[in-house]
Amino acid sequence: MAGDGTDQRALQYEQTLMYGRYTQELGVFAKEEAARIRESGQRRSLSNRSLLEYDKGRCAKCRICTVRCQKFLISRVGEDWIFLILLGLVMALVSWVVDFCIALCLQAQKWMYGGLDSNILLQYLAWVTYPVVLITFSAGFTQILAPQAVGSGIPEMKTILRGVVLKEYLTFKTFVAKVIGLTCALGSGMPLGKEGPFVHIASLCAALLSKFMSLFGGIYENESRNIEMLAAACAVGVGCCFAAPIGGVLFSIEVTSTFFAVRNYWRGFFAATFSAFIFRVLAVWNKDEETITALFKTRFRLDFPFDLQELPAFAVIGIASGFGGALFVYLNRLIVQFIRKQKTINKFLMKKRLLYPALVTLIISTLTFPPGFGQFMAGKLTQKESLVTLLDNRTWAKQGIAEEFDYIGNSQAWQHPQVNVFVTLVLFIVMKFWMSALATTIPVPCGAFMPVFVIGAAFGRLVGESMAAWFPDGIHMDGTIYNIMPGGYAVVGAAALSGAVTHTVSTAVIVFELTGQISHILPVMIAVILANAVAQALQPSLYDSIIRIKKLPYLPELGFGHHEKYNIRVEDIMVRDVRYITLNCTYRDLHGVLLIGQLKTLALVESAESMILLGSIERAQLQSLLTQQLGRPRRLEYIRERSMEEKKKRLSVGSDRNSDDGSHRASQEVRFQISTEESTFSPTNTGPQKPLKPALKRSSVVERPTELPTSPNDNSGIALKNLFCASPDAEALEDDGDAEDDMTMREIAEWEEMQLDEQVDFTNCKIDPAPFQLVERTSLHKTHTIFSLLGLDHAYVTSIGRLIGVVSLKELRKAIEGSVTVKGVKVRPPLASFRDSGTTSSSENEATELHKLWDRHKNLSLPREHTASSDETDEKSH
């Protein structure tokens, strides 16, 4: 499980190249962090108290007054709204600066490309080299500084807001890497988005700001407050990216939360509005705009935006976008999985880390080269320019000839002397579609929202132009001629496709805020809802897809109207064979329980007969208990005592301090005795104890996780090694010099035997006294709700205080994903097979069956072993 430097870097590379995996034990990390915070809090309060006590001595009043003043100031600084204003301000500045730099970069490319128009080869080189250099730099920079900055960031934020701590995700290094990496990546002109990374940047900003402000006051250390602030930060991220406060709040809620506390609502609105306001004010001050208006302002007519009879066309856009969105997510995942699977490619890319980004950029920029293929797909327009032209309120198709456009420039790019505008649009859509799906797999900070948005707009425009060509005088019957506005269709298409890819409805609101017009509200809403319905039935959202690829700890949503979920009960999915320890168990029992499986917490029951649940204990706590009992210091203590008794045989006690070679010898001896016999786990503990066999000679540390033996019989040894591979080892080595260890292997084995039979002393053990409990009849629906509401990892199932089962995220996930059969009905969403990524569906059931079998035939040791190992690998793969 532990790896050395090179290994870790290789792993990290895999992570950053193609949505890596998280094999770190995040839960343990979270617990440690919490403990650290708790302790520091206690220390703080202690120091406070001593301060107050000191004050009582002399000059008390004066000091108390000062303290109060200080407290008042601190409490003001600690107010939420000051924090939110600061956050909004900072993010608006960041957003504006990033935009400014991106614009500069793109201008520079255009200038270079325009200046070299004499030589087409030079022009091509300039067109291609520029983005390749920028993307390569971005990838390399991010890679070196903070690999966590790669990608969108929304999936990670979703996981963090669920209560999981992702290490290194909210540090200053990541912030710098993300901002600079993003600027370079977008400056290259690749079809990448800014919005996902901005959610991450805003969260980083909030975390850093919170850390900074905790220098003034104490309340910033509260965890639930931090999560509230992070939720607000996500809203700010979207809000200041699009100058869309309402849409930003809603989008961030839909994308990151499962349950949303309405009381936090105002935070998001407040911060996002302020941020959007500052962001647009900066544009006014920079003389880009005359006043505050929308980012992509449209000028559709107000009095008759669309006819009722056009609605079927809008519905068609919605449904097609739904399929398109699902295809995009599928394509994106396919590319990642393809490159991961191809081992030769993968190996080669692992060596030359920057080759993949460079290659992808080369392909994409070659294809968009304006004098080349790019002329058929408006290749010379930047993303922003394309969007502005697509949302234009004129009709292209009817006028037909380029000359009729009374304004030169961007819109002309869509017109080609040889080919129709329809062909240009179709080519644009098709090419950009796979390009965007490919580009978002490059390991740079980037999002997919904006590219998808533009593709959607183009698709809408295509439908709109077709409609305009079909009904040149509009559809309306009663006298007045109202032409069809293809721009409106583009708005609808943009909202629908981006909604389908992200599984959100709030893209509708974003579209209104982006265009500054809400006249197409009904078509947009209808299309977005239809697109969502289709896409949700076919594929997970892009962010959920990335969560799966990255194997982040997540809980899938209950699907779109699968009401069978109401009929599954906890008793159908729970694991009945719970690993537990009793209040009066021996260290041998503890040892046995720790050998089996890798559960992070174990249930503590009163006794095996009563099975009354008293609490849960973390695995690490039990490990340290066992280490204390069997550890070298305690054995040395024992030796010392023994030697005190046998004084006549030994010379003196003083020689304890200087025998280093002995300790070296000892460290290569057998340290731990492993019993392959499992009866210690059985509740009643009555069977005869078999003699223990030393199963593991600890000669060298196994360093590569890939070298873990897969044979179930060897597993117990490895499990024990894993058990003790962290701090205890180091501790033991440090203490080596304390006493002379003259015990033989046999003596050690005997001593350990003796120790294992003692009763466990839980007094210094941290116990969670109120683990979450469910009842057998709790429905899957309710269980899911509770798990996602409270961010649970597992819950015990009790019946009148008696522990009868346990449900963990794994069981829940399996039940939701439809691999559990209940009462003969296969609970499986209609197109679930499309979603499966080849997991063995019934392994859990098998395991449970085996466990039951085991309980009946305690002497058979093989099935248990097998189960444990299968459980282990299962959990490791998460």
Give the residues across from 802 on adjacent strands: 612, 799
Of the candidate spans 75-83, 440-448, 666-674, 729-737, the one that interacts with a copy of itself by CB under 8 A turns out to be 75-83
Q: Select the residue interacting with a copy of itself from 58, 263, 341, 649 (CB under 8 A).
A: 263
Q: Select the residue interacting with a copy of itself from 14, 307, 714, 735 (CB under 8 A).
A: 307
328 makes contact with a copy of itself (CB under 8 A): no
Question: From CA 505, how far away is CA 840, in angstroms rounded?
Answer: 34
Of the candidate spans 59-67, 316-324, 459-467, 772-780, the one that interacts with a copy of itself by CB under 8 A turns out to be 772-780
Q: Least distance (Å) from a copy of itself to the CB of residue 476?
A: 8
Question: From CA 189, how far away is CA 204, in angstroms rounded?
Answer: 25
Residue with tokens 């490309």: 113
Identify the three-state secondary structure at position 442. coil
Q: Could you tell me which of 226, 298, 301, 291 has the C-alpha nearest to residue 264? A: 226
Identify the three-state secondary structure at position 582. strand
Tokens of 793: 């990892």
Is the CB of residue 554 less than 8 Å from the CB of residue 255?
Answer: no
Question: From CA 588, how far away is CA 594, in angstroms rounded?
Answer: 10
Q: Least distance (Å) from a copy of itself to the CB of residue 563?
A: 5
Q: Select the residue interacting with a copy of itself from 137, 512, 587, 681 (CB under 8 A).
A: 512
Q: Select the residue interacting with a copy of itself from 800, 833, 837, 859 (CB under 8 A).
A: 800
Q: Select the residue interacting with a copy of itself from 100, 265, 330, 638 (CB under 8 A).
A: 265
**696's torsion region: left (phi>0), alpha (psi -120 to 50) or beta?**
beta
302 makes contact with a copy of itself (CB under 8 A): yes
* 809-848 positions binding a copy of itself, by CB under 8 A: none
Of the candidate spans 27-35, 230-238, 298-306, 463-471, the one that interacts with a copy of itself by CB under 8 A turns out to be 298-306
796 phi/psi in degrees, rounded to 5: -90, 145
Q: Could you tell me which of 806, 616, 592, 631 has the C-alpha nearest to residue 719? A: 592
* 101-130 positions binding a copy of itself, by CB under 8 A: none
Q: Least distance (Å) from a copy of itself to the CB of residue 215?
A: 17
Question: From CA 552, how far away is CA 546, in angstroms rounded?
Answer: 9
Of the candidate spans 95-103, 394-402, 459-467, 782-790, the one that interacts with a copy of itself by CB under 8 A turns out to be 782-790
* 451-490 positions binding a copy of itself, by CB under 8 A: 476, 478
Question: From CA 645, how far away is CA 654, in angstroms rounded?
Answer: 15
* 134-193 positions binding a copy of itself, by CB under 8 A: none
Nearer to a copy of itself, 309 or 420 (CB): 309
Question: From CA 630, how far away is CA 732, in angstroms rounded?
Answer: 11
Nearer to a copy of itself, 207 or 743 (CB): 207
Binding-site string for a copy of itself from residue 589 to residue 628, where x marks contact by CB under 8 A and - marks none:
---------------x-x-----xxxx-------------
87 makes contact with a copy of itself (CB under 8 A): no
Question: From CA 186, how far away is CA 145, in angstroms rounded?
Answer: 19
Identify the three-state secondary structure at position 581. strand
Nearer to a copy of itself, 417 or 769 (CB): 769
Q: Least distance (Å) from a copy of itself to the CB of residue 789?
A: 5
Cβ burial 646-676 (10 Å sphere, 16+ → b, else e): eeeeeeeeeeeeebeeebeebeeebbbbbbb
Q: Select the residue interacting with a copy of itself from 22, 251, 277, 543 (CB under 8 A).
A: 277
Give the residues across from 811 on adjacent strands: none
- Quote the distance between the C-alpha of residue 569 and its chain's center: 29
Is the CB of residue 519 less than 8 Å from the CB of residue 300?
Answer: yes
Q: Select the residue interacting with a copy of itself from 505, 608, 695, 696 (CB under 8 A).
A: 505
Q: Select the residue interacting with a copy of itself from 29, 100, 216, 304 (CB under 8 A).
A: 304
Q: Select the residue interacting with a copy of itself from 136, 183, 532, 867 (CB under 8 A).
A: 532
Q: Least distance (Å) from a copy of itself to the CB of residue 312?
A: 13
Query: How many residues does the structure list for the chain?
Result: 878
Give the residues across from 798 on adjacent strands: 803
Q: Least distance (Å) from a copy of itself to the CB of residue 399?
A: 23
Of the candidate spans 246-254, 432-440, 456-464, 861-869, the one that interacts with a copy of itself by CB under 8 A turns out to be 246-254
* 547-576 positions binding a copy of itself, by CB under 8 A: 557-558, 560-561, 563, 566
Nearer to a copy of itself, 53 or 646 (CB): 53
Of the candidate spans 196-204, 430-438, 728-736, 763-771, the one that interacts with a copy of itself by CB under 8 A turns out to be 763-771
Q: Least distance (Å) from a copy of itself to the CB of residue 532?
A: 6
Of the candidate spans 9-17, 305-313, 435-443, 630-638, the one that interacts with a copy of itself by CB under 8 A turns out to be 305-313
Q: Select the residue interacting with a copy of itself from 517, 598, 629, 716 (CB under 8 A).
A: 517
Residue 210's Cβ-count burial label (10 Å; 0-12, 13-18, 19+) is buried
Cβ burial 732-759 (10 Å sphere, 16+ → b, else e): beeebebbbbebeeeebbebbeebbeee
Question: From CA 306, how far away is CA 283, in angstroms rounded?
Answer: 32
Neighbours of 194 (CB within 10 A): 24
Q: Least distance (Å) from a copy of itself to the CB of residue 264?
A: 10
629 makes contact with a copy of itself (CB under 8 A): no
Give the residues across from 808 on adjacent strands: 794
Is the CB of residue 679 less than 8 Å from the CB of residue 687?
Answer: yes
638 makes contact with a copy of itself (CB under 8 A): no
Nearer to a copy of itself, 602 or 614 (CB): 614
| Total residues binding a copy of itself (CB under 8 A) | 93
Tokens of 677: 């016999």
422 makes contact with a copy of itself (CB under 8 A): no
Maximum distance among all Cα pairs of the chain, rounded to whole angstroms: 121
Q: Least distance (Å) from a copy of itself to the CB of residue 274?
A: 8
